[in-house]
Amino acid sequence: MNLMNVDALSIGKMLVLSAVAVLAWQTFNIQVLNREVYQAETKSMVTRTKNIYAERGQIMDRNGVVFAENLRDTGETEDYSRIFLQGKLASQIVGKVGYNGVGSMGMERMFDLRLRGNEGFRSIVQDAKRREIYGRSENVAEAEPGKNLVLTIDRNMQEIVEKALKDGVNEFRAASASAVVVNPYTGEILAMASYPTFDPNSKKQGVGRMAKNDIVAMSYEPGSTFKAITAAAALEDDIVSPEKVFENEGKCWRWNAKSEPICDTHIYGDMDMGEAMVQSSNIVFAKIAAEVGADKLYRMARNFGFGMKTSENLYGEESGRLLMPYELTRDDRTLKTMGFGHSVMVTPIQMVMAYAAIANGGTLMEPMIVKEWRDSKGNLVDKKEPVKVRRVISERTAASIRKMLNRVVNSGTAKMVASKKMPDVIFGGKTGTAEKYNQETGKYDRDHQVASFIGLAPVEDARYVCMVLVDDPQAKHVGGLTAGPIFRRIMEGVYYHPQLSPASHALALVNMNSPCKDDYVGMMAESAKSFAAMKKCAVRFEGEGNRVVSARRAMEDSVGMILTLGSVGAGKMPDLKGLSLKDALEIAGSIRMNVEYSGMGRVVSQTPKVGEVLRKGQVCKLLLKEKG
């Protein structure tokens, strides 16, 4: 045998044995020594984790109308987007969500964590082509949806306010206008807006200045609306009697030879405090401030909430600026000018809450924008209650100031506020016109003003306190001719709205001598039409059906009526929501149904539900509430 062949065969056997040994060692290493390590590596090649999207909570108005909702693509990438169902309406309150699903402004940012919820994650097993094997995949942690935010805002009132602001900006050629409506007894913000505004659904529109909610974010000198605060300081401690007559100083008052004069727009003659409020005399309120003194005027302003934020829940809120007593007395003029709303910086929300305290009898309320939180199934999680901050003035002082505010509208600087359409609703309020302070020149600029009006509707037992602010109006400058008419339009829109009107029934506003004084609810449509023609009452029909289910006055026609039709059959339960008790009883009576009810105002819920088949002897249960 060839020796060379033997060696080659031996070498080959050794190589084979070596390879087998290596493979055996690797097998032992993989399956025994490092089994867990290699199992983990293998598993990582066929499994991966995937985040489970947490549904972002809705944002809705006090009646459940949705402002902000979710849109998502459930494909492989699961893209996220937010849709704002009411478009521009209340966009400065609701805010916006960024591309990453995080709130970037407004309530979306203020309560981002609570709205966002908690993401879950899923362990996915995949095949060689990296496709999920659904039978072997599982959710490791379930996603927790975000909470639903219910605002105090009323969508219908918000719409009325925003339209009035838009019309006002165009009419008075103003840079912007803002308004807020609050319930003075609870502090609930029912509507709040600034115009111009922005569309949160737009991907192209720049936001910038339009995202700013001036009601909470604008600091300005309030001008004459602050005179109510000065009056409160004077009356509360009996420092100045309301009967005290202040001597005529002419058009301007110069208390010493070196002083810069304080001037009025006209010569008014001798006046007491009430007449000075009516005529908006700077001179008289400068004198009143001097008598009150720096300490007491500062303390009263501070108690009303000036110089501090009103709430933790208002995105972008500013504090304003309230001078300390030693700053008010650094010269002999600053304290006097604070008496008529100069030398103090406020925000509109501070001013409206101060007037709400005057309206409710003297208690400062914290403004409410959050009504409640609900979970994804609609269950109540957290209900917010009204917060009384402090008693600021006595009921006697508040009543005295309300009488003055009523005179301002009846015969003073706010005569344009009184509504001819609603002669039975007696407003009270105060106008304000403040020149803007120019930081560069150190002087007030007579060419640039902030005009405002704060009104109580009605002046006694006020349902609403509304502030309107017009920035830099060009056509007319004073608050009584700009902000005042906008306030009137807002209140007319609210009072004539079938779901918002605080009147027990819209027909109560109709004069008894009107051809439309009769009640049409419950009539068949043809009978109502014939009866209206006989009475010479101009009527217009809305809806579909054979019977009149509700009636209201036509806003554009003081003698006209709008009759809403509906189908009322004895077999199924009709829709009674939004109706007054009188109208609801009329319809229930037409189908011979007994009614039990609780509350006051208009129907907000009913049993049986709409369209439910009725049984003989079934009782209708109604819950009524006063809107706003």
DSSP string for 299-365: HHHHHTTTTS-S-SSSTT----EE--HHHHTSSSSHHHHHTTT-SEEB-HHHHHHHHHHHHHTSEEE
Q: Which residue has the higher pLDDT, 394 or 411?
A: 394
In a domain, 46, yes or no: no
Q: Which of 166-170, 268-272, 507-511, 575-579 has the lowest mean pLDDT?
A: 507-511
Residue 562 pLDDT > 70, yes or no?
A: yes
> Measured between alpha carbons, how far is 555 from 560 in angstroms, rounded to an integer?
8
Q: What is the average pLDDT across 568-591? A: 70
Q: Which domain covers residue 535, as residue numbers?
A: 506-625
Q: How confident is the model at residue 628 (pLDDT cuts 50, 70, 90)?
A: very low
44 lies in some domain: no
Whether 252 and 237 map to the same domain: the answer is yes
Highest mean pLDDT out of 115-129, 299-313, 440-454, 468-482:
299-313
* Whether residue 485 sits in one domain with residue 519: no
Domain boundary among 468, 495, 522: 495
pLDDT digit string, tens, across residues 461-484: 899 999 999 998 887 767 778 899
Give the pLDDT score at 414: 81
Alpha-carbon distance of 411 to 274, in angstroms, equals 12
Q: Is residue 342 part of a domain?
A: yes
Q: Is residue 204 part of a domain?
A: no
Same domain flag for 165 and 242: yes
CA 345-346-351 angle, to 5 degrees, is 150
pLDDT category, 558, cuts 50, 70, 90?
very low
Entry pTM: 0.73
CA dihedral 481, 416, 485, 551 (to 10 degrees): -170
Q: Are residues 56 and 191 in the same domain?
A: no
Round to whole Å and give the CA distance between 338 and 16.
Answer: 104
Task: Work out the mean pLDDT of the chain and round it to a whole number.
Answer: 83
Looking up residue 182, the CATH number of its domain turns out to be 3.40.710.10
Task: Evaluate whether 561 touches 538 at the Cβ level (below 8 Å).
Answer: yes
Tell which wins on pLDDT, 71 or 163.
Answer: 163
Residues 171 and 66 in one domain: no
Lowest-confidence segment of 116-125, 365-374, 408-417, 482-491 by average pLDDT: 116-125
Same domain? For 325 and 436 the reply is yes
- 320 has pLDDT over 50: yes
**Whether the Cβ atoms of residue 434 and residue 449 lie closer than 8 Å to each other:** yes
Q: How many domains does the chain have?
A: 4
Same domain for 480 and 513, yes or no, is: no
Q: What is the pLDDT of residue 504?
A: 42
Query: Quick check: 66 pLDDT over 50?
Result: yes
Give yes or no: residues 132 and 220 share one domain: no
Tokens of 62: 């006090």
List the one residue out of 280, 279, 283, 292 whose CA is nearest residue 236: 292
- Name the range with the highest mean pLDDT among 24-33, 446-455, 565-574: 446-455
Mean pLDDT for 34-51 is 57
Q: Could you tell me if 288 and 231 are in contact, meaning their C-beta atoms sit under 8 angstroms apart?
A: yes
Block residue for tokens 């803002």: 178
**Pair (523, 476) in one structural domain:** no
Boundary (domain end) residue, out of 448, 475, 495: 495
Q: What local confidence, expressed as pLDDT, does residue 203 receive?
A: 73
413 Cβ neighbours under 8 A, 6+ residues apart: 224, 278, 279, 280, 431, 478, 479, 480
Residue 74 pLDDT > 80: no
Distance CA(161)–CA(119), nearest Å, equals: 38
pLDDT over 70 percentage in the chain: 78
568 confidence band (pLDDT: 50, 70, 90): low
Average pLDDT for residues 411-415, to the nearest whole number?
79
| Residue 500 is assigned to a structural domain of this protein | no
- Measure the N-to-C terminal CA separation of the chain; round to a whole number of Å: 114
Per-residue pLDDT tens over the stretch 119-153: 766 666 666 566 666 655 555 567 788 999 999 99
Q: 350-406: per-residue pLDDT in tens?
A: 999 999 999 999 999 999 999 999 998 889 999 999 999 999 999 999 999 999 999
Does residue 435 sit within a domain?
yes
If asked whether residues 490 and 562 sit together in one domain, one would say no
Output the pLDDT for position 499. Answer: 79
Cα–Cα distance for residue pair 614/626, rounded to 1 Å: 28
Which CATH number do you get for residue 510? Answer: 3.30.10.20
Q: How far apart are CA 501 and CA 522, in angstroms?
A: 21
Of the two residues 426 and 166, the one the predictor is more confident about is 166
Domain end call among 442, 462, 495: 495
Q: Are residues 279 and 298 in the same domain?
A: yes
533 and 482, same structural domain? Answer: no
User: How would residue 557 be classed by pLDDT, with cut points 50, 70 and 90?
Assistant: very low
Q: How many CB atoms lie within 10 A of CB 462?
A: 24
Q: What is the percent of the chain where pLDDT is above 90?
A: 45
What number is the average pLDDT over the span 262-277? 92
The SS3 call for residue 201 is coil
pLDDT, greater one: 286 or 7 = 286
Q: Is residue 205 part of a domain?
A: no
Model confidence band, residue 434 (pLDDT cutoffs 50, 70, 90): confident
Spatial CA neighbour of 59 closest among 383, 370, 385, 384: 370
In a domain, 45, yes or no: no
Q: What is the CATH number for 59?
A: 3.90.1310.10
Per-residue pLDDT tens digits for 195-251: 999 888 887 665 667 778 899 999 999 999 999 999 999 999 899 999 999 999 999
